[in-house]
Each structure stands twice: as structure tokens, then as C-alpha cells.
């Protein structure tokens, strides 16, 4: 699929930067004039992915989170969130609802389930001690397609 526009940012894995990632992503996709529901879905999915980096990938340390956003030719929003943290040993297990590696912090273990609920496609690649990459895609309606 042809890339029509792209932006890249990176930031430290501080919880205060989660809202920055959400708003930067929403601002980028605003050029497509998405519906309120579409932009809300995107912001929620980004929030979950970035929070996973902060809480799980860099537990009790700081690292960089890398965010790539793209507009593809068919009004598809493409979002890639990557870290170089601890990685995921078992991706299938990690994507199961209610599974968490942060039980002591009372985490619900719903991050990946939320991402999958709000986006059309979610793929996860990870390697222990090398990090995790989450790619999410959502096709946005053209105004008048309601």
C-alpha cells in the first residue's frame, strides 16, 4: 500500500508522555477528517500500546518509545509503536484477555484486547530483551459513507 504521509516521534517512557502520544497521533490523522468515534478509537488504542511500553517493557526504568504514523492511500491509518524493552516471551499468552505481568500493580490485562476491539488489524512482534513492535491499522470512512 502506498504511503501518502508519515511522521515519526520518540519520547521517554514516562507516564506523562502517554497523553502526548495520543494527542500527536490524533493531530496527525485529523487531516483525514475522521469521525469523532474513529479518532476516539485511535486514541484509545495508542494509549493502550504506549502504556504497555511504560508499564511492561521498561518496568521501573526509562527507555525510548518510538511512534510512527502513516496515512496509506485508501484512508487507512497505520500506527507503529516500538520499544527496546524486555520483550514478550509468549505473545499469544500476552494477548489473552486478563493476562498481565504486572499483577502487583493491579493491572487488568486488557491492553491488547482493547487495541483489537478498536482497530481493524493489530500485529505484534517481540523478542526477549530486544523489544516489542505493535502495528495497528484502521480504515477510516470517507465522509458521506455513514
Any idea where the domains of the chain sit in the sequence? 3-139
Whether 50 and 115 have beta carbons less than 8 Å apart is answered as: no
The C-alpha cell 508522555 sits at 17
pLDDT digits (tens), the chain, 146 positions: 899 999 999 999 999 999 999 999 999 999 999 999 999 999 999 999 999 899 888 988 999 999 999 999 999 999 999 999 999 887 676 666 555 555 555 545 556 788 889 999 999 999 999 999 999 999 999 876 55
Query: In degrees rounded to 5, what are phi and psi of residue 85?
Result: -85, -150
Is 52 annotated in the active site? yes
Is 96 annotated in the active site? no
| Catalytic residue from among 17, 22, 38, 48 | 48
What is the Cα–Cα distance from 53 to 86, expressed in whole angstroms?
9
In CATH, the number for domain 3-139 is 3.30.565.10
C-alpha cell at 98: 486478563
C-alpha cell at 18: 502517554
| Catalytic residue from among 18, 22, 38, 52 | 52
Predicted model pTM: 0.87
Residues in contact with 129: Cβ distance below 8 Å, sequence separation at least 6, in sequence order: 86, 87
Is 70 annotated in the active site? no
Whether 136 and 115 have beta carbons less than 8 Å apart is answered as: yes
Amino acid at each position: 500500500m502506498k504511503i501518502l504521509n508519515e511522521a515519526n516521534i520518540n519520547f521517554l517512557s514516562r507516564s506523562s508522555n502517554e497523553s502526548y502520544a495520543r494527542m500527536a497521533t490524533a493531530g496527525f490523522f485529523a487531516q483525514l477528517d475522521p469521525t469523532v468515534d474513529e479518532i476516539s478509537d485511535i486514541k484509545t488504542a495508542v494509549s493502550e500500546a504506549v502504556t504497555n511500553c511504560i508499564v511492561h517493557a521498561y518496568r521501573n526504568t526509562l527507555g525510548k518509545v518510538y511512534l510512527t504514523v502513516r496515512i496509506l492511500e485508501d484512508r487507512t491509518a497505520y500506527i507503529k509503536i516500538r520499544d527496546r524493552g524486555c520483550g514478550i516471551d509468549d505473545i499469544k499468552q500476552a494477548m489473552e484477555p486478563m493476562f498481565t505481568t504486572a499483577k502487583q500493580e493491579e493491572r487488568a490485562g486488557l491492553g491488547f484486547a482493547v487495541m483489537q476491539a478498536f482497530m481493524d488489524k493489530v500485529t505484534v512482534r517481540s523478542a526477549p530483551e530486544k523489544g516489542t513492535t505493535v502495528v495497528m491499522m484502521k480504515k477510516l470512512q470517507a465522509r458521506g459513507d455513514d
